[in-house]
Amino acid sequence: MLSPEIREAIASAYAAMTLWEVAAVLLALAYLLLAMRENILCWYAAFASTAIYLFLFWDVSLLMESALQVFYLLMAIYGWWQWRHRKRDGKTLHIHRWSATTHLSAFAAIGVLTLVFGYLLDQYTSAVLPYLDSFTTWGAVVTTYMVTRKVLENWLYWIVIDGAAIYLYIDRELYLTALLFVLYVILVIIGFIQWFALYRKQAPGNRFAATTNDLAAR
């Protein structure tokens, strides 16, 4: 038997949902499932979902999250081009790993940008949860780039970022989106396992070539 408080919370969550949020969630889920299979159609789903979320986040004063969607739109195009261009030229973009030094640089960059933009948002805008908003934004910027380059560890980054985003969305009453991110945390673990298996199947020569190509593209 559900308590009155739980029933009221469920009713509030349902009332807060919109058809646009449902569409964005379904498209975002399609993106993740297709990305797990290295299917280039994932970038079409990502573009459509991102376009919807751009307006949803702006409407609830998540300014950094809204700005992030503009970046996502561009990265969806870039990711599609990267995956398609590599295959068309006969150079398959293989799953590869970053070095420890590269990861440390990424962590430092995310940390500094989070503090700087969190402070600016806190002082000069009406943004809510500015530091958490900045962390999920800049963490997602780095991790999305990792996806476009098929860096294996992107899935581990997403676990942390999606976990933090769950609280952010619950606070803004985007309950369906928060639920999506709970599912995301589960799926990214599966995604990491799948990509790791594919990575191990690659010939050592292919791994080296993919890493070399990635370094050259930076």
Question: Chain-wide mean pLDDT for the chain?
Answer: 82
CA distance 205 to 147: 21
Residue 137 DSSP label = H
72-89 pLDDT, tens digit per residue, is 899 999 999 888 876 544
Contacts 24+ apart (CB under 8 A), 158-164: 158/184, 158/188, 159/185, 159/188, 159/189, 161/135, 161/136, 162/188, 164/132, 164/135, 164/136, 164/139
Please tell me the predicted confidence (pLDDT) of residue 170.
Answer: 86
Please tell me the predicted confidence (pLDDT) of residue 218.
Answer: 47
Of 179, 182, 175, nearest to 12 by C-alpha is 175
Instruction: Name the residue with higher pLDDT: 91 or 1.
Output: 91
Tokens 């799953």 belong to 95
Q: What are phi and psi of 104, to 5 degrees?
A: -60, -40
Confidence of residue 142 (pLDDT cuts 50, 70, 90): very high
Residues in Cβ contact with 164 at an 8 Å cutoff, skipping those fewer than 6 apart: 132, 135, 136, 139
Which token pair is 16? 């807060």
In the beta sheet, which residues pair with residue 151?
Answer: 96
Residue 209, pLDDT above cutoff 50: no
Q: Is 60:164 a contact under the CB 8 Å cutoff?
A: no
Taking the mean position of all CA atoms in its chain, how far away is CA 29? 11
Which token pair is 203? 């010939």
Q: Is 172:60 a contact under the CB 8 Å cutoff?
A: yes
Of 57, 196, 38, 41, nearest to 140 by C-alpha is 57
Furthest C-alpha separation in the chain: 61
Q: How many CB atoms lie within 10 A of CB 42?
A: 22
Which token pair is 130? 């500015």
Q: What are phi and psi of 151, to 5 degrees?
A: -85, 125
Which token pair is 151? 């860096």
Confidence of residue 193 (pLDDT cuts 50, 70, 90): very high
Average pLDDT over residues 169-189: 84
Is the full-model pTM beyond 0.75? no
Residue 210, pLDDT above cutoff 50: no
Domains of the chain, by residue range, sit at 4-217
